[in-house]
């Protein structure tokens, strides 16, 4: 039975069925979001956001299923137990996280689902993403903060969107990757050259954080977002299966180690110069934790940070139910019509069926390709900002 299951997980046909289910259900969700955005939101933003929570959750949950149940991956959270019980999933939070892995965003979604926050995961994202069907459109209707990487234009967008998000009726997590792009050796060299030229603390495992977006977000959060969550995600480097979308798609588990620290917003300095130093010091702390983790397999042995016993959160079974429902709703009619086209004996219909399958196969390959570090943006490779705040 077990070997047969492994064969199933490696099957390209099964992967294609995943793609058909996810992208088709995503378009359905997008259409519903658009309709509600045009009809319900002008009347009641509160009701719109409540409904949109479930629409986002049912879409994201299909990817969470791949991490939680299909691959059987685990998350170990290193966090103060009292803070976890008192605050996690119960308040607005500004999450500041390293951007190192292909699946760091998905690990965040898996955690958010386990604390019943999946539908209200928000993030800063490149403006071009909002034009992409399924996830891009879903994020646009969910009030993500889309940036052009032109600070003069982005400052106004940040202030407006943060003010909107802070008024949400339910807790939200707003995720920021201050490094701006995923870590690569090439980008790290440019980043450290920038640090040496400006006498900034050098980082071994992270890119220098871009401070202006972080600082610009803080005024609009005052009195509305009670805390910043300092988050470091790490995976053991001596394992065979690397933390990638392909690994999860083929049903291979990974173990994520996530250090999280709650910082009350009143502990954040008030001036921009101090806020820049605050963020840079945060990344120096992340670097020490990561250095200890890489060298010893433990965050605390060499970092000087007080040891915390990890919490192993439980995956939720409703993710499986959500996946089963969408699979039945999408695949039953899809397979019926594809079989009808193939069995028609008419070249035009067969060509249409082949075209449909190629379309979904291409969408799957493109999505996985976009997540790869090697396909990341060139942001930070050749140039660095002339101002740090």
Write out pLDDT tens, residues 101-158.
Answer: 999 999 999 999 999 999 999 999 888 889 999 999 999 999 999 988 777 788 888 9
**Per-residue confidence (pLDDT) for residue 17, from 0 to 100:** 95
pLDDT tens for each residue of 239-263: 889 999 999 999 999 999 999 999 9
**Per-residue confidence (pLDDT) for residue 1, from 0 to 100:** 45
Q: Tell me the pLDDT band of 3, cut-offs 50, 70 and 90.
A: low
| Closest C-alpha to 104, from 75, 132, 61, 79 | 75
Please state, in angstroms and rounded to a whole number, the distance separating the CA atoms of residues 273 and 211: 10
pTM value is: 0.91
Q: Tell me the pLDDT band of 377, cut-offs 50, 70 and 90.
A: low
β-sheet bridge partners, residue 78: 259
Is 386 a residue whose pLDDT tops 70?
A: no
**Per-residue confidence (pLDDT) for residue 2, from 0 to 100:** 56
Is 379 a residue whose pLDDT tops 80?
A: no
**Per-residue confidence (pLDDT) for residue 373, from 0 to 100:** 55
- Edge to edge, what strands does the sheet with 121-126 contain? 145-147, 121-126, 173-176, 93-97, 227-234, 255-264, 74-78, 311-312
Please state, in angstroms and rounded to a whole number, the distance separating the CA atoms of residues 183 and 192: 12
pLDDT tens for each residue of 210-236: 999 999 999 999 889 999 999 999 999
When pLDDT is averaged across residues 7-36 and rounded to a whole number, the result is 95
CA angle 147, 153, 159 (to 5 degrees): 75
Class of the 73-317 domain? alpha beta
Is 383 a residue whose pLDDT tops 90?
A: no
Is 382 a residue whose pLDDT tops 60?
A: no
Q: Is 261 exposed, middle or buried (0-12, 13-18, 19+ CB in 10 A)?
A: buried
pLDDT tens for each residue of 54-99: 999 999 999 999 999 999 999 999 999 999 999 999 999 999 999 9
**Per-residue confidence (pLDDT) for residue 388, from 0 to 100:** 42
When pLDDT is averaged across residues 331-351 and rounded to a whole number, the result is 94
Alpha helices per DSSP H over 91-173: 104-114, 135-140, 151-165
pLDDT tens for each residue of 165-208: 888 889 999 999 999 888 888 999 999 999 999 999 999 999 99
Distances in Å between the Cα of 331 and the Cα atoms of 15, 16, 196, 299, 352 are 13, 11, 56, 44, 17
pLDDT tens for each residue of 270-316: 999 999 999 999 999 999 999 999 999 999 999 999 999 999 989 99
pLDDT tens for each residue of 113-127: 999 999 999 999 888
Q: Is 197 exposed, middle or buried (0-12, 13-18, 19+ CB in 10 A)?
A: exposed
CB 216 within 8 A of CB 82: no
């Amino acid at each position: 039975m077990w070997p047969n299951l492994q064969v199933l997980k490696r099957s390209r046909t099964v992967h294609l069925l995943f793609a058909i289910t996810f992208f088709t259900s995503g378009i359905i969700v997008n259409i519903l979001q658009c309709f509600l955005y045009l009809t319900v939101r002008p009347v009641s933003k509160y009701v719109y956001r409540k409904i949109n929570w479930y629409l986002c959750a049912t879409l994201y949950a299909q990817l969470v299923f791949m991490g939680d149940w299909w691959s059987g991956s685990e998350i170990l959270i290193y966090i103060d137990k009292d803070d976890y019980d008192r605050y996690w999933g119960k308040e607005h939070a500004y999450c500041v996280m390293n951007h190192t892995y292909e699946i760091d965003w998905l690990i965040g979604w898996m955690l958010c689902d386990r604390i019943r926050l999946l539908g209200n995961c928000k993030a800063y994202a490149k403006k071009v993403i909002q034009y992409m069907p399924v996830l891009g459109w879903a994020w646009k209707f969910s009030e993500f903060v889309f940036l052009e990487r032109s600070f003069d234009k982005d400052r106004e967008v940040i202030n407006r969107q943060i003010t909107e998000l802070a008024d949400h009726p339910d807790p939200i997590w707003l995720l920021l990757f201050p490094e701006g792009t995923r870590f690569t050796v090439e980008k790290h060299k440019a980043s450290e050259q920038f640090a040496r030229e400006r006498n900034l603390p050098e980082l071994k495992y992270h890119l220098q954080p871009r401070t202006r977006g972080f600082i610009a977000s803080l005024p609009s959060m005052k009195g509305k977002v009670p805390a910043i969550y300092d988050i470091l995600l790490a995976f053991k480097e001596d394992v065979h299966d690397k933390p990638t979308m392909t690994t999860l798609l083929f049903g291979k588990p990974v173990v994520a180690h996530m250090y999280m620290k709650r910082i009350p917003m009143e502990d954040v300095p008030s001036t921009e110069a101090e806020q820049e130093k605050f963020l840079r010091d945060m990344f120096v702390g992340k670097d020490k934790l990561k250095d200890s983790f890489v060298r010893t397999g433990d965050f605390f042995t060499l970092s000087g940070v007080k040891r915390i016993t990890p919490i192993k959160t439980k995956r939720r079974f409703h993710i499986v139910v959500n996946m089963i429902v969408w699979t039945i709703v999408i695949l039953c009619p899809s397979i019926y019509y594809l079989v009808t086209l193939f069995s028609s004996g008419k070249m035009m219909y067969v060509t249409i069926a082949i075209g449909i399958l190629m379309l979904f196969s291409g969408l799957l390959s493109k999505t996985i390709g976009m997540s790869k570090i090697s396909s990341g943006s060139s942001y930070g490779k050749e140039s660095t900002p002339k101002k740090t705040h």
